[in-house]
């Protein structure tokens, strides 16, 4: 069971019963957490949920579509700012969450159309998304003047928008969610996104995406327009990143240019690589592991946290190149293979009949 969860089944296979048991156990774990944790820890964990949705978008796009995009942080920031601006102007947060997803997916669609239909190679696609992220970050940082207003909301440049509204009961702005309910909402959203992306991989659309990752030219020869599938995956991942950005902005609560930063883009790559690029649960585990590790390093007085994280990334790339969860999940199989080899060698050696040696050759006559 652990082996299957860590490595996942083949993407085209529907989840088995133990996967649903795992999901139920994960949900029960998050439901009980607020009753045993301090408020500070609950708020910190709530922040992780937004990051986990960002990591899921990258895990899906890179791990199963073969597209390495540094633009996920751009869509993450678009979702955060889109939610904040609309919620402050309308006073309603439920519709603003949907708007955050829509504006991020639309941004991904516009950018992705020109890159994918322009037949940009993979390396240049990564570079273009990186430049797009930098442009948005620099653009947002340059909006500190009084003239940069959307409706009644000032963008405030590099200071960000500090008055991000808290989530309220859907279509009832007079009742806001308390800390526990906000935590549970984040957990539910993260789990639903995980389930949704996992089930997408079992559809014909998901199978074609995996085929594109393995061999795009062969997939085209089979009659599929790979550009449409890649653009759809790019937009889907952008929408998920936008949802994560909205929830992250609420949890801080602050919409700020750091959401677009290169540091955040590097964090996403690290979460996916450490957790496991070929899985969806891996990026989630990578977020919680790396962010908790960062906090622990801070409490230990380590000044060069970035240097330590760089060393961790190098270690995982060189030693655990599949990621933490796939490496752990493969251990039972490795042990079983080694045991089978030893058993076969023992049977082979036991079946050998020793030759009769002549007297005086080291044996008894």
At 9, is the secondary structure helix, strand, or coil? coil
Q: How many CB atoms lie within 10 A of CB 85?
A: 24
Q: How far apart are CA 244 and CA 342, in angstroms?
A: 49
DSSP code of residue 279: -
At 351, is the secondary structure helix, strand, or coil? coil
At 142, is the secondary structure helix, strand, or coil? coil
The alpha-helical segments, DSSP class H, found in 117-225 are 122-141, 179-200, 204-214, 216-221
Domain residues of the chain, as ranges? Answer: 8-260
Q: How confident is the model at residue 335, as a pLDDT?
A: 58
pTM of the full structure:
0.86
User: Is-contact 305 298, C-beta < 8 A?
Assistant: yes
- Residue by residue, DSSP assigns 199-267 as HHTTSHHHHHHHHHHH-HHHHHHTT--HHHHHHHHHHHHHHHHHHHHHHHHHHTT-B-GGGGSHHHHHH
Tens-of-pLDDT digits for all 365 residues of the chain?
544 555 445 666 788 888 899 999 999 999 999 888 888 888 888 999 999 999 999 999 998 988 999 989 999 999 999 999 999 999 889 899 999 999 999 999 999 999 999 988 888 999 999 999 999 999 999 998 888 999 899 999 989 998 899 888 887 777 888 889 999 999 999 999 999 999 999 999 999 999 999 888 999 999 999 999 999 999 999 999 999 999 999 998 899 999 998 888 888 988 998 888 888 898 999 899 888 888 778 777 777 777 888 887 788 777 777 777 776 766 565 556 666 677 777 767 765 545 555 555 444 44
Taking CA atoms, 21 is separated from 5, 49, 161, 176, 195, in Å, by 11, 21, 41, 32, 13
């Amino acid at each position: 069971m652990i082996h299957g969860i860590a490595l996942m089944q083949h993407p085209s296979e529907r989840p088995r019963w133990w996967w649903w048991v795992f999901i139920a156990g994960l949900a029960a774990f998050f439901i009980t957490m607020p009753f045993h944790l301090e408020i500070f820890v609950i708020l910190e964990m709530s922040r992780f949920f937004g990051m986990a949705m960002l990591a899921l978008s990258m895990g899906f796009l890179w791990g199963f579509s073969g597209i390495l995009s540094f633009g996920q942080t751009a869509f993450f920031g678009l979702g955060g700012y889109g939610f904040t601006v609309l919620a402050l102007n309308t006073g309603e947060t439920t519709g603003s969450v949907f708007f955050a997803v829509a504006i991020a997916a639309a941004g991904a669609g516009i950018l992705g159309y020109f890159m994918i239909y322009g037949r940009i190679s993979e390396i240049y696609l990564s570079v273009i998304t990186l430049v797009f992220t930098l442009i948005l970050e620099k653009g947002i940082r340059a909006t500190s003047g009084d003239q940069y207003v959307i409706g009644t909301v000032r963008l405030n440049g590099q200071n960000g928008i500090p008055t991000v509204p808290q989530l309220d009961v859907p279509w009832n702005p007079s009742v806001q969610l308390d800390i526990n309910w906000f935590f549970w909402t984040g957990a539910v959203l993260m789990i639903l996104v995980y389930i949704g992306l996992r089930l997408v991989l079992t559809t014909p659309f998901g199978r074609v995406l995996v085929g594109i990752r393995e061999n795009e030219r062969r997939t085209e020869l089979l009659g599929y327009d790979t550009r449409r599938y890649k653009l759809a995956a790019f937009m889907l991942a952008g929408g998920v990143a936008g949802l994560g950005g909205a929830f992250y902005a609420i949890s801080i609560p602050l919409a700020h240019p750091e959401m677009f930063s290169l540091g955040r883009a590097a964090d996403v790559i690290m979460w996916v690589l450490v957790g496991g690029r070929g899985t969806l649960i891996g990026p989630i585990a990578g977020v919680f592991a790396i962010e908790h590790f960062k906090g622990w390093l801070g409490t230990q007085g380590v000044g060069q946290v970035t240097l330590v994280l760089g060393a961790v990334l190098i270690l995982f790339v060189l030693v655990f190149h599949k990621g933490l969860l796939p490496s752990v999940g493969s251990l039972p199989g490795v042990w079983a293979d080694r045991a089978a080899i030893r058993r076969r060698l023992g049977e082979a050696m036991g079946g050998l009949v020793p030759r009769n040696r002549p007297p005086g050759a080291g044996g008894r006559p």
